[in-house]
A and B are shown apart, each in its own frame.
Chain A
Amino acid sequence: MSPSAAQTLPTVLDPEQTNRVAAAVDGLTPEQLHWVSGYAAGLAARGTRPATAPATPVERQAPTLTVLYGSQTGNGKRVAEELAAGARQQGHEVKLGSLAGYRPAQLRKESLLGLVVSTHGEGDPPDDAELFHEYLMSDRAPSLKHLKFTVLALGDSSYVNFCETGREFDRRFAELGAERIAPTVECDVDFAAPAAGWSQSVLAGLPELLPAKAAAQPQLHAVPSTSSADAYDKHRPFEAEVLANQQITTSDAGRDVRHIELSIEGSGIRYEPGDSLAVLISNPPALVAELLDVLELDGDRSVEIDGNTMTLAEALSDELEITALNQGFLKTWAELCGDEALARLLRDDGRAALRETMETHQVIDVVRKYPAKIDAPALVRALRPLAARSYSIASSLEANPDEVHLTVAAVRYRAFGREHWGAASTHLADRVAAGDRVRVYVERNPRFRLPDDDSTPIIMIGPGTGVAPFRAFVEERAERGADGDSWLFFGNRELRNDFLYQLEWRRHLRDGSLGRLDVAFSRDQADKIYVQHRIAERGADVYEWLERGARVYVCGDAKQMAGDVHEALREVLTAHGGLDPAAAEARLKAMRRSGHYQRDVY
């Protein structure tokens, strides 16, 4: 950075401070400077309160040994356990785990890795290493310059590609910049002796690689910077690269739900659990074509929007709302087609019918049902500008540096004899793939926040994709090492087919990051069971948590679920707290005001 940066510093600093700041920011990239500004702003905002979030973008802990294993038979696990036990005996801290439960993105945080992996069939990784392998071999794999590693490969030399998986990992780690501390040891069926030799040699090198536990270093803490995140908005969105677009329900599930991972690397964007991500979208091409066809309009014709000239097809694709109906369009259309039924909807006595029409019909349904002619400029005037769509963020930035995750249910259904698509959900589900870019910006949601006090119990109620922000909550609390109780109510149709993030919840339950999980699968038994039924069943415990000051969070469907859950909470207070219904309602209101009952419903 040029000295001019220091010269432009405001004069609130004395000359010595000015010099210190100038020295501190010297050589930083623009992204880093962005971050520092946010960091400073955060310090100011928090005053003297101890901050809790660790620094970004990637924080490396004091070096520890991580031992990972992937094996079909358990042999690999045993070898890994022996190595870990040996290292612990030397007094080192060791992380030990199966590749199946390991999030590859964590690699960025590792410093010393011992990997034990077997090879199967004609050179394939074992089942539990498959995803890790896929990730590491892909272009997404991060630079591993900070990593030291060694690999123990298990195999069977009667196969052609003996120990192939171990060799691949070894090669790939080196390619990604990691430093090999000992050559890969390849073991045949009779693996015990060479495996023990490998362990011994790793253990012998540990004292040098892992200095005795460093005294706890003062950690840099940052809070999200408003300035850097808010540098992006609808008019200046960040072009985030799609890292993954993965269906997380089965093909037998009633719904196609996607887990979308976006990279915000280099953007300086900070977000907190509870925030939303706004996504700028385009409309389904098939729908644009169909609309042009029905209206007998030429998509190549030029139109003007806000002083910009473009083709009508482009306008319908990228600038105008053609899925969600609005009254302005209905009014225009009613005048054009002269249909009495449509006109009646818009009069005062047609309210209920109008609401129903707005909920069930898209623009295309109206123009099909009530034929009329319209010219291109009039159409452009009648339609609303295409709005960005917001999704509750499903990730904790601390747990997923440089990434933001979304949980998106693809809306596709048949109605009125034709296919319907949700514009945003199918934009994300169907029209972007890994490597593509999506235009996004963060929307703050300060009314949906984890308690500052990590020991406060939290009850999270999030059926369906409403579970998204709670994934962020649980990840965040795990990163912070929060010790407060946590309880998630999740519901969907079938355990087998649409238990969103099931593996992650089970992992969080095992490691204590999630204290309790109750599930309601409506179609797994004769009677439909939903989250509100589970809340009622567990009423005594829910009440006890509320008495302990638990915060209640509800996310998801506003039409039905939020009301049903509210009702269930009120009944918990009447049944277990001895309140009459009015007092229970008042208590819930008070909880809303005090932030003990927060909702993100839509």
Chain B
Amino acid sequence: MADAPQSDVERIKNASRRLRGTLAESLADPVTGALAEDDTQLSKFHGIYQQDDRDVRAERQRRRLEPDYSFMIRARVPGGVLSTAQWLNMDDIANRYANRSIRITTRQALQLHGVLKRNLKQSIADINSQMMDTLAACGDVNRNVMSPPLPMRSAVYQAVLADARELSRHLTPATRAYHEIWLDGEKLDVDQANLNQGDISSPGKSAVEAKLNQGDISSPREGEDEAQPPAGVLPRGAEDEAEPIYGNTYLPRKFKTAFAVPPQNDVDVYAQDLGFIAIVEAGELVGYNVTVGGGMGMSHGETGTYPRLADVMGFVEREDVLPVAEAVVTTQRDHGDRTDRKHARLKYTIDDRGLDWFRREVASRSGATIAEPRSFEFTGNGDVYGWQRDEQGNWHYTLFVENGRVADFDGLPLMSGLRALARAHRGHFRLTPNQNLIVSEVADGDKAAVVELLDRYGIANDSQATPLRLHSMACVAFPTCGLAMAESERYLPSLIDRIDEEMAALGLSEEPITVRMTGCPNGCARPYIAEIGLVGKGPGRYNLYLGAGFAGERLNSPYRENIDEREILAALRPLFGSYAEKRRSGERFGDFLVREAIVPEVRRGRDFHTATV
């Protein structure tokens, strides 16, 4: 492997002068709505994906016009918590520069679609004006850090959120390229603003802050920078711009981190490269079980690629969160495969070298003690809908947002309704990893006003949707995503209608079953840990995966390949029938299929394609 050439993206990163590339020139090029090709890789690190409307691609080519390029902008929202002012700001940008919609992602971030190149800089500047940023929202770096959205156990939740934000800041790239290109050099400390955000009563110092101040966090290995000198000349003033954690070429591939608080696994911690499962003893957060090596993406027809659930590596004290996380990141930086992007995620590094090796490497780099995992239990990875009251007496309302798409639809003015709520409500909005939105911290006396607004706009539709729909997710796919092979967000709602009918006929309407669809095998909606997973293969055709755990603790298994809607329903119908007849009390659909040996239990990612019953 050492002889294999590095992937092209590695060349681009290395020559980019810490993510600058020729982005400024690309933005100024007047004869195209696109960026230069290499810059389309670098823009991702800035939270920007170049896309084009694939519905019109061929027709435009016939008209001798370039594709209808526009950009997706992803804003980081660590832990999914944002102020209503930040929401209103995004709403304004969405209506001014994007396609009049906001998308809540599966990782608690916000996306705008359809921004033209000439409006890109202003959009990014406007997002930053409300102390939100897009840096490292995509690209080969640690991306938005997730944390459980529903603050039911307030004290624990607050502590976990504080740790998540601290880690987010710690792993944010240090390059000034972002501020140079988008903010005319102005340096905003968005991470600090996040830490200061007073959404929760006196979060206090996070346990790791003390260590940070002591300068105790390990730096990357000496000599790393010398080994990979920047290919170009850095701008003036940036000569000393260190990238202490990432170095010049950042990570081999994307890197995802989440914090979970059992019994909810709403963040799908096993799907993340790095996870922290809160261990609470006697009501106190004592530390975390650290998980490593989760990841969804694979490629059709390449069995060397596979989804993998994270391993629980061990328990660490709360104060070791930053050093351990950094050690995980730097180990992956130094040992991840940079020759093949399909084999570059942390999950392959761990499978190739073994978990024991990895644990030793992390322990030695971090100096932390990695102890035996503590016990915990997850019961589900879905959201809890409707009104909930936390220990402090505040109310939280979880609103179902189908596939995370916020827009004004025919008969459902969701975007306008949320705008009205954001104007009236002084608390926060929280984004859930299941693409829903929580109107949070509603005081007793304000609840009626929120209810009134929900009713006036008719947007509280969680009571009308079946549990099946409430447990469904889809990625964006067509028309904007360049990777999509089949429809997803535009199609899943109607497929759910059909499946609802099948289930209703069998008296299963009240059964929650997780259904997730993606337009390609890269897995943005985490389809391989859905009880019913559908992954696009070609127009109108999907691979069907069945039998994952309801709490995201077990992968599903390939069941049918390349089938259309009729075949999907025909495949599910007898299984529903059998489930209705033979399930045990409280038994989940995925568990049932495994117990009945209809699909094998997939214990390891590398067995995903080959496991048999």
Contacts and interface: CB of A to CB of B under 8 A. Distances in A.
Contacts of A203: none
A189 B302 contact: yes
A74 B63 CA distance: 24
B281 to A, nearest CB: 50
Interface in B528-546: 537-539, 541
Contacts of B65: 248, 250, 496, 499, 502-503
Given A158-B562, A509-B31, A502 B66 contact: yes
Contact of A100 (B56, B61, B116, B561): B61
Nearest to B65: A502
With most chain A CB atoms within 10 A of its CB, the pick from B64, B116, B538, B541 is B64
A402 interface: no
A158 B561 contact: yes
B266 interface: no
Interface in B48-64: 56-58, 60-64
Contact of A517 (B31, B57, B58): B31
Nearest to B561: A158
A127 B58 contact: yes
Contacts of A524: 118
Interface in B287-318: 300-302
A519 B30 contact: yes
Interface in B9-37: 30-33
Interface in A138-196: 156, 158-159, 188-190
B539 A131 contact: no
Chain A at the B interface: SS class: mixed
Contacts of B68: 496
Contact of A248 (B31, B32, B64, B561): B64
A62 to B, nearest CB: 31
B66 A503 contact: yes
A470 B222 CA distance: 58
Contact of A250 (B58, B60, B539, B562): B60
Contacts of B64: 246, 248, 259, 500-504
A190 B302 CA distance: 8
Contact of A122 (B31, B32, B538): B538
A496 B34 CA distance: 11
Contacts of B30: 495, 518-519
A25 to B, nearest CB: 41
A249 interface: yes
Nearest to B30: A519
Q: Which of B31, B56, B301, B538 has the most CB of A within 10 A?
A: B31
Contact of B301 (A127, A156, A249, A502): A156
A156 B61 CA distance: 26
Interface string B194-232: 000000000000000000000000000000000000000
B86 to A, nearest CB: 27
Contacts of A503: 61, 64-66
B538 A249 contact: no
B63 A246 contact: yes
B31 A506 contact: yes
Interface string A518-545: 1100001100000000000000000000
A318 B367 CA distance: 92
B450 to A, nearest CB: 39
A121 B539 contact: yes
A247 interface: yes
A503 B300 CA distance: 32
Given A120-B538, A503-B64, A519 B116 contact: no
A243 to B, nearest CB: 14
B539 A506 contact: no
Nearest to B117: A495
Given A159-B562, A503-B64, A519-B31, A127 B300 contact: no
B390 to A, nearest CB: 48
Contact of B300 (A130, A156, A249): A156
A495 B539 CA distance: 30
B61 A158 contact: no
Contacts of A249: 63
A141 B302 CA distance: 38
A188 B61 CA distance: 28
Contacts of A246: 62-64
A102 B33 CA distance: 21
A248 B61 CA distance: 9
Contacts of B66: 499, 502-503, 506
Contacts of A506: 31-32, 66
A8 to B, nearest CB: 48
A421 interface: no
A137 B62 CA distance: 16
A104 to B, nearest CB: 12
A329 interface: no
A254 B56 CA distance: 18
Contacts of A509: 31
A118 to B, nearest CB: 12
Contacts of B539: 121-122
B31 A131 contact: no
A496 B33 contact: yes
A130 B59 CA distance: 10
Contact of A121 (B56, B118, B541, B561): B541
A206 to B, nearest CB: 26
Tell which of B60, B63, B116 has the most Cβ of chain A within 10 Å: B63
Interface in A202-251: 246-250
Given A121-B539, A156-B300, A158-B561, A130 B61 contact: yes
B304 to A, nearest CB: 11
B69 to A, nearest CB: 8
A506 B67 CA distance: 12
A127 B485 CA distance: 12
Interface string B63-83: 111101000000000000000
Contacts of B57: 127
Which of A130, A158, A246 has the largest number of chain B CB atoms within 10 A? A158
Contacts of A518: 30
Nearest to B118: A524
Contacts of B302: 189
B597 to A, nearest CB: 25
Given A121-B541, A158-B561, A189-B300, 4 more contacts: A121-B538, A131-B62, A246-B63, A259-B64
13 contacts: A122-B541, A130-B58, A130-B61, A246-B64, A248-B63, A496-B33, A496-B65, A496-B116, A499-B31, A503-B61, A503-B64, A506-B31, A509-B31
Rank and list the top 8 A-B pairs by shortest CB-CB distance, nearest first: A189-B301, A121-B538, A248-B63, A503-B64, A121-B539, A130-B58, A501-B64, A502-B65
